[in-house]
Structure 1
Amino acid sequence: MPHDTQKLNKQRQDLTQFSEIWLFGYGSLIYKVDFPFITSRPATIKHWERRFWQGSHDHRGTPEAPGRVLTLVPKPESECFGMAYQVTDDVFEHLDHREKNGYLRHEVEIFFTSEEQTVGLVYIGDEHNEAFLGPESATTIAQQILESRGPSGENRDYLLNLANALRDHNVYDAHVFEIEAELKKLIRLEWS
C-alpha cells in the first residue's frame, strides 16, 4: 500500500464538534453505499472537480497494476455533483479504512440547494499522496481502466456505473463522459 492515511485521518477532525455529520461522495458513493447512514441527499460542492487521477492499488487495481479512480482537484467557479450522507461518527472507522490509499478527510461546504447548505467531510487524494497518478489523455486513462481489476472488481465497472449514475441524476461531467467514450471504443476494439 503506497500511503495508508488511516492514522492521519483519525487526527484530522474532532468528529464530536459536529452536531450532524455529513459526508460528501463524488465517485462510487453516488451509486453504491457500503455503510449505514441516517439519510442521503443529492448535493454539490463548489470550487472542485472530479478527475480520474488517483491510483487504486487496493480496490480497482493492484500494487503492480493500479487502477484509476476519482479524486477532486481545485477549480475556481466549478461545481461538483455528488451524494451527501448524514452519518454517525462510528462510520468513519470503516470509511477511513476504505479510503486509506492516499485520501485525507477535508471539511467542505455542502450545498443541497442555493439556500440550504451545511459543513461536511469529503475524502480527497491530493497531488502529494503517493497513489496520485495525475493527468493523462482520456485514451491513456481509459486503457488503464480497461486493463485494471482488483479486490473490488473491474476498474471499468467503476467508471461505467458512475457514468450511468450521473446520467440518472441528469448531471453532465465532460471528464467522466470523455473517458467513458474512449473506454467503449477500446471495448469494441477488444471484441472485433
Structure 2
Amino acid sequence: MSLTRADLKTGRLQAMVLQSSELTPYLLSEAQLQASITTTLQAHPPNTDLWIFAYGSLIWSPCFKFVEARVVKLSGWHRRFCLSAPVGRGTPENPGLILGLDCGESCCGVAYRIAASDVAAELQLLWQREMVVGAYIPQWVKVFSGEQAVEAIAFVINQQHPLYTGSLSLEMTIESLATASGQLGSCADYFLQTIDGLATVGIKDETLLFLRDRVIARQQSLFDAANLSDASH
C-alpha cells in the first residue's frame, strides 16, 4: 500500500498526522507549505519546466504529473534510513524508518521533469506529501545524466528535526525495517518496493541490498520463533 494522488488531494496524510500526539506539533499548515514552495521557487525562472530528484518512494509511486524521467547521479548526498515514522509505516510503540538524503557520498535516482503549466498544482501535492511535518528541507541540487547536468529540487533530511534518527545502529535499523508496520503498510514493504523500483530503472544500491538480506533473515527468525512457540503449546 502507498499514498495515492487521491489521498494527497483529500488530506489523508495530514489526517494521519493529526491522530498522533507526537507528530501534531510539527504539522505544517497550508500557509506554511505554500510559503516553503514560494521560497524554493525564488531560485527558479518563472514559467519554465522544473525537475524533481527522486531517491525513494517517489521512484515507484511519484503521484505527480511529469513529462520526462531520467536516471541521474547526485553527488554530496546519499540515501539513508534516517527518518523515524511513528505513523504510516510504523506506530509510536514501534516506529518505522523512511529514507532521506543525508550528507556525504553520492547516489543515483530519477529526475522527473514537470511541465511549466503543471508546476504550481503539482508542487502543492508534492509538498503535502514530503513536507507534511517539515522533516525534509527542499534544496536545489545539480544532478547528472551522463555529461548533462540539470538543477532539481531534492528533499534532503532536516538533521535538526526530532524525527531524524542520527547515527542509529545497524541492529536497530534492521529491527525497525523488519518489524514496523502502520496504516500505510509495513516498513519492509516500503523498503522492498524501493529496491524493486530502483531495479526497474537499472539502479543497484549495494547498501540497500546489504540491508535487505539482513531484514529478510530477521523476519525469518521471527517467523521460526513464532512457529516454534505455537508448536510447543
* Identity among equivalent pairs (%): 23
Matched, 1:41 2:64: no
Alignment RMSD, CA only?
2.1
| Greater relative contact order (Cα < 8 A, sep 6+) | 1
Q: What is the alpha-carbon distance in structure 1 between the residues aligned to residue 87 and residue 125 of structure 2?
A: 15
Q: What is the alpha-carbon distance in structure 2 between the residues aligned to residue 185 and residue 49 of structure 1?
A: 25
State TM-score, norm by structure 1.
0.87
Q: Which has the higher helix share?
A: 2
How far did residue 170 of structure 1 move?
4.0
Residues 5 and 96 of structure 1 are in contact (CA less than 8 Å); yes or no, is this contact kept in structure 2? no
User: Which residue pairs with 1:10 in the alignment?
Assistant: 37
Residues 139 and 183 of structure 1 are in contact (CA less than 8 Å); yes or no, is this contact kept in structure 2? no
Q: Highest CA radius of gyration, 1 or 2?
A: 2
User: Which residue pairs with 1:129 in the alignment?
Assistant: 161
Decide whether aligned partners of structure 1 residues 63 and 187 sit closer, same or farther in structure 2, where only a CA change above 3 A counts. closer
Letter of the aligned partner of 2:45 in structure 1?
Q
State TM-score, norm by structure 2.
0.73
* Structure 1 consecutive aligned stretches of length 4 or more whose deviation exceeds 6 Å: none
Q: Specify every segment of 5 or more residues in structure 2 that has no aligned partner in the other structure, as ranges.
A: 1-22, 225-233
Q: Deviations over 1:10-40 (max 9, x none)?
A: 3431266252210001011222222221221
Alignment of 1:13-32 (within 5 A): 13-14=40-41, 17-18=45-46, 19-32=48-61
How far did residue 148 of structure 1 move?
1.4
Q: What is the alpha-carbon distance in structure 1 between the residues aligned to residue 106 and residue 96 of structure 2?
A: 25
Q: Specify every segment of 5 or more residues in structure 1 that has no aligned partner in the other structure, as ranges.
A: none
How far did residue 172 of structure 1 move?
3.3
Q: What is the alpha-carbon distance in structure 1 between the residues aligned to residue 205 and residue 91 of structure 2?
A: 27
Alignment of 1:104-143 (within 5 A): 104-114=137-147, 116-143=148-175
Matched, 1:81 2:142: no
Letter of the aligned partner of 1:70 in structure 2?
L
How far did residue 64 of structure 1 move?
4.2
